C-alpha cells in the first residue's frame, strides 16, 4: 500500500522503516528544513540512530504528503495535531494515530481530535514501543485499537515483519487513556529515579497508577481489562523503567531541583506528559475523581511543589482498603 507518515521525529521515522520493511510505499512528511536536507543526503536523522531504506520518500509539503495516500499515520505530538491538520482535507482519510496524550485546550483524545477535524476514521496504535529499539529491529509488540474491530484488524494486518507484532482491540478509549496517563506517571517515576532509584517505590507507583487509569477510564467509557494489556501495564512498565523515556527524564531533572521551563528549553524532543498532566488535572476536576499520583505530578510541575513533599503527602494519606478501584481513595 501507499502510506503517508506525518511527522519525522523518532517515532515517525522508526514507523516509516517498519512500514517499508512490511512492503509498503512510504512518504514521510518532514517539518524541519535541516532535517529534510539531512534525510535526502544521508537518509539519517538527528532524532534517532537509523539509516532509512532507500525506497522511503521525503517531503516538506503537507498537501503533497496528504495526496500521496488515503492511509495516513500521524506522528505529530498531540498538542500540535490541530495546527498541522486543520489546513488539509481529511474526509477520505483513514488516520492511524501514533501520538499519546490529551489535547490541553479542549481536553480531547487524539481520535476525538481527528474525528472533529473530519477524518473518515481513526485507529490508535499504542503499546510498549521505544522508537530506538523498533529502529534496531528489537522484538516489539503493540496494540491497534478502534471503535470497530475490523478497522483495528486492518491496521494490525499491515505489519509483516519478524520484529514488530500487533494485536487488535476495540477499546480505543482505554488504549488512549493508557497512552496519555502513562506519560504523566513516567514523570513521577523519573522523580523517584532522581531521588535514588528506589525499587520498592517504583513498584508501588506502577501498581497504584493502574488504579488511576481505571478511574479516569471508567469516566470516559473505557473497559478496565484494557489497562492490564499492552497499552496499559505494558507501556507503563517500559516508560517508567526505560532509559529512553523522555517523560521519565523530565522527572529526574525535576527531582534535582530544575524548573519545568528550564528543562523544556534544553530539550529538542517533546515530553507529552507535561501538557497532559495539566489536561488530566482538568479532567479529574470535571469528573470529581481523585487521582493522587497524577495530582502530585501536576503540583510539582505547575505549582512548584517540592518532590520530597509530594511523596510525603502521598504516603501520609488516610488508610485504605486496596481493591476498590472506582472509589475515590
The residue behind cell 519525522 is 8
Q: How far apart are CA 81 and CA 117, in angstroms?
A: 10
Pairing of strands 164-169, 71-74: unpaired
CB of 2 closer than 8 Å to CB of 32: no
- Give the CA angle between residues 162, 163, 168 to the nearest 5°: 95
182 is annotated as an active-site residue: yes
List strand residue ranges (DSSP E) for 25-80, in order.
25-29, 57-59, 71-74
- Which among 141, 22, 147, 27 is positioned nearest to 75, based on CA atoms? 27
CA distance 87 to 18: 28
Task: Return the bridge partners of 174, or none.
Answer: none
**Rounded to whole angstroms, how far apart are CA atoms 2 and 25?**
5
Per annotation, catalytic residue among 17, 94, 182, 296: 182
Answer for the pair 62, 84: CB distance below 8 angstroms, yes or no. Answer: yes
Detail the DSSP E strand segments found in the chain: 2-6, 25-29, 57-59, 71-74, 94-97, 121-126, 140-145, 164-169
The radius of gyration of the chain's CA atoms, rounded to the nearest angstrom, is 19
| Residues labelled catalytic | 182
Amino acid at each position: 500500500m501507499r502510506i503517508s507518515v506525518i511527522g519525522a521525529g523518532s517515532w515517525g521515522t522508526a514507523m516509516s522503516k517498519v512500514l517499508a520493511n512490511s512492503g509498503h510505499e512510504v512518504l514521510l512528511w518532514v517539518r524541519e528544513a535541516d532535517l529534510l536536507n539531512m534525510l535526502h543526503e544521508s537518509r539519517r536523522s538527528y532524532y534517532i540512530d537509523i539509516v532509512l531504506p532507500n525506497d522511503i520518500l521525503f517531503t516538506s509539503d503537507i498537501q503533497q504528503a496528504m495526496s500521496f495516500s488515503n492511509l495516513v499515520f500521524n506522528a505529530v505530538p498531540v498538542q500540535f495535531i490541530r495546527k498541522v491538520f486543520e489546513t488539509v482535507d481529511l474526509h477520505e482519510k483513514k488516520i492511524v494515530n501514533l501520538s499519546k496524550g490529551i489535547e490541553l485546550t479542549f481536553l480531547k483524545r487524539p481520535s476525538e481530535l481527528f474525528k472533529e477535524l473530519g477524518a473518515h476514521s481513526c485507529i490508535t496504535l499504542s503499546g510498549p514501543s521505544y522508537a530506538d529499539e523498533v529502529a534496531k529491529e528489537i522484538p516489539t509488540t503493540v496494540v491497534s485499537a478502534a471503535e470497530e474491530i475490523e478497522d483495528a484488524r486492518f491496521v494490525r494486518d499491515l505489519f509483516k515483519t519478524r520484529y514488530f507484532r500487533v494485536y487488535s482491540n476495540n477499546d480505543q478509549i482505554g488504549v488512549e487513556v493508557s497512552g496519555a496517563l502513562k506519560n504523566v506517571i513516567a514523570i513521577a517515576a523519573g522523580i523517584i529515579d532522581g531521588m535514588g532509584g528506589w525499587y520498592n517505590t517504583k513498584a508501588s507507583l506502577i501498581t497504584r497508577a493502574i488504579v488511576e487509569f481505571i478511574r479516569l477510564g471508567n469516566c470516559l467509557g473505557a473497559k478496565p481489562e484494557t489497562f492490564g494489556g499492552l497499552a496499559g501495564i505494558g507501556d507503563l512498565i517500559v516508560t517508567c523503567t526505560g532509559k529512553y523515556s523522555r517523560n521519565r527524564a523530565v522527572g529526574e531533572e525535576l527531582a534535582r531541583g530544575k524548573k519545568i521551563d528550564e528543562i523544556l528549553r534544553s530539550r529538542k524532543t517533546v515530553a507529552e506528559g507535561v501538557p497532559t498532566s495539566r489536561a488530566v488535572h482538568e479532567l479529574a476536576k470535571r469528573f470529581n475523581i481523585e487521582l493522587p499520583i497524577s495530582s502530585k505530578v501536576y503540583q510539582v510541575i505547575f505549582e512548584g511543589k517540592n518532590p520530597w513533599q509530594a511523596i510525603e503527602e502521598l504516603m501520609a494519606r488516610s488508610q485504605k482498603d486496596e481493591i476498590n478501584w472506582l472509589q475515590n481513595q
